Structure 1
Amino acid sequence: MSRHIVTPSHFYQHATCPHWIWYDRFGDPARKGEVPELAQKLLDQGVVHEVEYVKGLALSPVTAADPADALALTLKLMRQGVDLIYQGTIEAEIDGAIWRGRPDLLEKRKGKSSLGGYYYAPVDIKSSHSIHREQQLQLAFYAMVLERVQGVRPKETAIINVDHERITFRPSAVHIGKTRAAVKEILDVMDGKRPPLRLASKCKRSPWFRECVREAEEGNDIALLYDLDSRAHPALRAAGIHTVQDAARMDVSMLPKIPFCSAQKLERVKLQAESLATGELRWMARPKIPYAPLRIYFDIEGDPLLDVQYLFGFWIEGDGEPRYVRFLAERPEDERAMWNEFLAWTATLPDDFAVYHYADYERAHTLRMAEEYGTSPVFARFASRYVDLLKIVKDCVVFPLYFYSIKDIAKSKFLNYHWRHKKAGGAQSIFWYEQWLETGDRNMLQDIIDYNEDDVVATAHLHRWLLEHREN
């Protein structure tokens, strides 16, 4: 039996959805969907910035496509002691598996190793501002492989971020332990240990998402229940709650203490199960929504890869013809100017208005940007008018849905709202923005603007729907 091969891409797949690895190995390929464009970009993260950064560097590239050939050439360059190896392949057998990686750069450092009076340390080029958790695991992974290859583990690794700044990372014993644990979980899945059913919004980035949903639906599994912490699943199953019907019939007062799920949350889970079982809404209370004659619906588009908010969009009703207003950062470095334009606009608003948004993103990020770029009394006034419609929805009504994003709720049979673009979504907006930055194609920019306008109109549509049901 051949040994399993683990690569850094498995960290991203496992963190996104452990079933991704399982279905790749044991699933029916005909059922596999396409990798969403943003997910593919995350797997290939940093390619454009990488090419830009390495221009002019004196490096020794490894261009062989075959892993065995690439490994042989990399080891040859390491023994020769070249200063900088680009796209080299390293691998080692660790705990009975082949750990294989391709660091963007292998830098020669002074120090004793099996190679002589020097050793190599990994440096990755990423399109982010800081080191994310998966990148830490990846660098620790490379360091552990290099320890087997050259007899010494590099104590210091680094990424080159989107601004071409070097950010040092020193893998500690904790990081090494987490990397080993993550690899063990990945290997367990490769060996056939099926991960427990779990549906989360990030699972939508997996090409096997529909297959995960199908499997959960076939068993009518409690994984379908919105906002039920997956860490509570084992205790619920042990108490005999396996299906949506079980949850709909459960007597919360008779259950043992369920970790990560209070009795109050369990009552909400029961209502969610009843709603799914019948396909109908479950109203808990009359919607309480602050009224204002001027209604502003707000949505932000942001890119976590670049750590930038690039579009503020508003749909405005109550002072004439409804209209869309936007502020755009065409480049990440334009974010401050966009913020200042937004601040100037808030000063033009009348006294009586409310700002409706969906989920906490807009509130949290505008407050953060106010700290970074500066605030004003008019922004403080603006921020004091925030009304989170998601919180209102969760307080008053249960939808028979697996997810409660604005897309899931607005597209449901109850609201029947439609976006113009077939691929519309927050992840797709990020992908479009990155494509715009790379290609300069203004059609991508227009797609983002159209999507954002549809988002704020959808928020207004939800608001009106809630008001209609409040009257009923």
Structure 2
Amino acid sequence: MFITDSQLLSFQRCSRKAFLDVYGNWKQQESPTDFLQKLIRDSSEFRASIINNYNYQEPDYPHGNLIAGLKATELLMTEGVDVIYKGILMIQKSAIKLAPQNQIQNHNFPAINFVSHPDLLIKQPGDSRFGNWIYIPTDIKLSKRPKLEYQIVGAFHAQILGNIQECLPETARLILRTKRLYEVNLTQRLEQMQKTISELINMLQNCQEPEVFISRQKCHFCTWYNSCHAVAETQKHLSLLPGVTSNRYSVLKSLNLTNLESLSKTNPDDLECHPEFADGVGVQVVQQAQSVWENKVILRNRNLTEKTDNQTLPIVFNPLNKLVNAPVELYFDIEAQPDINLDYLHGVLVVDKRYNTEKFYVHLAENPLDEKLIWHQFLDLVWKYPIAPIYHFCEYEIKTVKRLAKLYQTPTYLWKPLLKRFVDVHQVITQTITLPIESYALKNIARWLGFEWRNPEANGAQSVCWYEQWLKTGDRSLLDEIITYNQDDCYATYYIKEWLSKFNE
């Protein structure tokens, strides 16, 4: 059995993925999405930009031959090469051994090879079996921060390297997106790495398939997503409920609340004594379970309280009152690449109820340098309707208006009054009702209500890929796809707002 650094990284992110990569039915695995492929390309390009700053040597060996790769890497280390790129480190032993000063309990697993592929091995003064030098493992990551999983992998590199050069390096290094060098604290991370490796091996050796858990932030880009989601749907797994995080699910399991029916019948007070369910979260989660279990819309509690000098008085607050049926209404949606702070499309649907007309305006930066131009085009349009409410979904549009106003030194009178006109439809719906859905994202809500996108596969991540491809190829059909998707987003927001308005009647 081979245990690799990539497996270790995968296991930390999702133990089920690490299991399926070994034992899963490959026919159930999806092809990587365009956005995932973009992330891989971006990571590779960033790595190349860093590598080009070094005078390095690569080990020469037949592709895929790990033994030959290890020998070729050791040869370069013996020669004292300053920087080694794409080295292969491997221990053909039954255990990971720590240096004496860092000894912890070893786990003996027969017939296991530990393999790591650090991006760089950088020579430093020291004392190893090769001479008066040692090597430090260095990974290059397209990340703004030194995530724990990267540090654990760095400790894995260091441990294997320590066995090979007979001297544990003092640190492992990460070069991050900002080109900042981060040094991993091995005293902290080695023991964590050892524990994680033990759990990974036990899972693989005992063929223990981890429980499915759908995480909305991580799972959508995984090639096993559809397979896992199908399992979760069959089981009616609680991770499909909005508000059930992994930490909250652990609490629910400890309380033996592992299915929809039991959770829907739970007294929220029994949950709110746990920190994970405090501040009304327990009520929301139980209500969400009830909504899905009974397949119905549930009105949230609108009664709030207001403290005075002598007493606490109930006040009536109805978020639906924000949805004013104005003569003219604007529906606003942005397409952006947040990683590089570029907003390349402002779409505005103008609904004129006086004349029963709907017109979509698109302000598109065909070149990233046109961001300022389309920002002013957007301002010109919205000020043609100075009292029209501007409906949007989630808070990104408000944040963007503030960012662009600051970036382009826009006079206060042109942008600040807009903030009072913005109405976040997502905020209104989540403050008002509970729906029997998996997520309160725009698509989930609109599709539950019966709205459909013309391109079912279109989404924000795909839009980013289309825009990147447009810049490279000049293929205008890609811009058409982006515009169609953005227009549908505006109409979906309009669709939800109209439904909510009728719900309030």
TM-score of the two chains, using structure 1 as the length reference: 0.82
- Rounded to whole Å, the distance in 1 between the matches of 2:152 and 2:408 is 33
Aligned to 2:305: none
- Rounded to whole Å, the distance in 2 between the matches of 1:9 and 1:442 is 40
Instruction: Pick one of 12, 16, 20 that aligns with 2:17.
Output: 20
Distance 1:141 1:383, change over 3 A: farther
Instruction: Pick one of 444, 451, 454 that aligns with 1:408.
Output: 444
- Rounded to whole Å, the distance in 1 between the matches of 2:252 and 2:162 is 44
- Rounded to whole Å, the distance in 2 between the matches of 1:281 and 1:373 is 44
Aligned to 1:166: 179
| Match status 1:106 vs 2:118 | no
- Rounded to whole Å, the distance in 1 between the matches of 2:476 and 2:175 is 31
- Rounded to whole Å, the distance in 1 between the matches of 2:182 and 2:53 is 25
Q: Deviation per CA, 1:288-315, whole angstroms, max 9, x where unpaired?
A: 33435543333333445x4433434222
Instruction: Pick one of 371, 379, 388 that aligns with 1:346.
Output: 379
Aligned to 1:11: 9
Distance 1:296 1:86, change over 3 A: farther
Aligned to 2:240: 224
- Rounded to whole Å, the distance in 1 between the matches of 2:342 and 2:422 is 18
1:146 partner amino acid = L
Point out where structure 2 has 5 or more consecutive residues left out of the alignment: 97-106, 303-317
2:85 partner amino acid = Y
Distance 1:362 1:441, change over 3 A: same
Distance 1:79 1:299, change over 3 A: farther
Point out where structure 1 has 5 or more consecutive residues left out of the alignment: none
**Aligned partners of 1:62 and 1:74 also within 8 Å:** yes
- Rounded to whole Å, the distance in 1 between the matches of 2:235 and 2:229 is 10
More divergent stretch after superposition (447-456 vs 44-53)? 44-53
**Aligned partners of 1:229 and 1:261 also within 8 Å:** no
Aligned to 1:468: 502
Structure 1 segment 86-165 matched on structure 2, within 5 A: 86-92=85-91, 94=96, 96=109, 98-127=113-142, 134-150=149-165, 151-153=167-169, 155=171, 157-159=173-175, 161=177
1:90 partner amino acid = L
Distance 1:349 1:437, change over 3 A: closer
Aligned to 1:251: 267
- Rounded to whole Å, the distance in 2 between the matches of 1:339 and 1:200 is 36
Distance 1:256 1:435, change over 3 A: same
**Aligned partners of 1:271 and 1:282 also within 8 Å:** yes
1:200 partner amino acid = S
| Match status 1:393 vs 2:432 | no
Distance 1:440 1:21, change over 3 A: farther
TM-score of the two chains, using structure 2 as the length reference: 0.77
1:244 partner amino acid = L
| Alpha-carbon offset, residue 353 of structure 1 | 3.3
- Rounded to whole Å, the distance in 2 between the matches of 1:355 and 1:184 is 54
| Alpha-carbon offset, residue 5 of structure 1 | 0.6
Aligned to 2:101: none
1:399 partner amino acid = L
Aligned to 1:325: 362
- Rounded to whole Å, the distance in 2 between the matches of 1:208 and 1:359 is 28
Structure 1 segment 264-343 matched on structure 2, within 5 A: 264-284=280-300, 287-291=320-324, 292-303=326-337, 306-318=339-351, 321-328=358-365, 330-331=367-368, 334=369, 338-339=371-372, 341-342=374-375
- Rounded to whole Å, the distance in 2 between the matches of 1:309 and 1:143 is 38
- Rounded to whole Å, the distance in 2 between the matches of 1:112 and 1:423 is 56
Structure 1 segment 25-104 matched on structure 2, within 5 A: 25-42=22-39, 46-51=43-48, 54=51, 58-62=55-59, 64-66=62-64, 67-92=66-91, 94=96, 96=109, 98-104=113-119
Distance 1:371 1:104, change over 3 A: farther
- Rounded to whole Å, the distance in 2 between the matches of 1:57 and 1:84 is 7
**Aligned partners of 1:146 and 1:154 also within 8 Å:** no
Distance 1:262 1:56, change over 3 A: closer
| Alpha-carbon offset, residue 373 of structure 1 | 6.0
Aligned to 2:490: 456
- Rounded to whole Å, the distance in 1 between the matches of 2:478 and 2:466 is 5
**Aligned partners of 1:19 and 1:194 also within 8 Å:** yes
**Aligned partners of 1:252 and 1:266 also within 8 Å:** yes
Q: Please, what is the CA RMSD of the aligned residues?
A: 3.5
Aligned to 1:190: 204
**Which protein, 1 or 2, shows the higher relative CO under an 8 Å CA cutoff with sep ≥ 6?**
1
More divergent stretch after superposition (145-154 vs 402-411)? 145-154
| Alpha-carbon offset, residue 370 of structure 1 | 5.3
If you compute each CA radius of gyration, which structure gives the higher value, 1 or 2?
2
Distance 1:91 1:275, change over 3 A: same
- Rounded to whole Å, the distance in 2 between the matches of 1:206 and 1:148 is 34
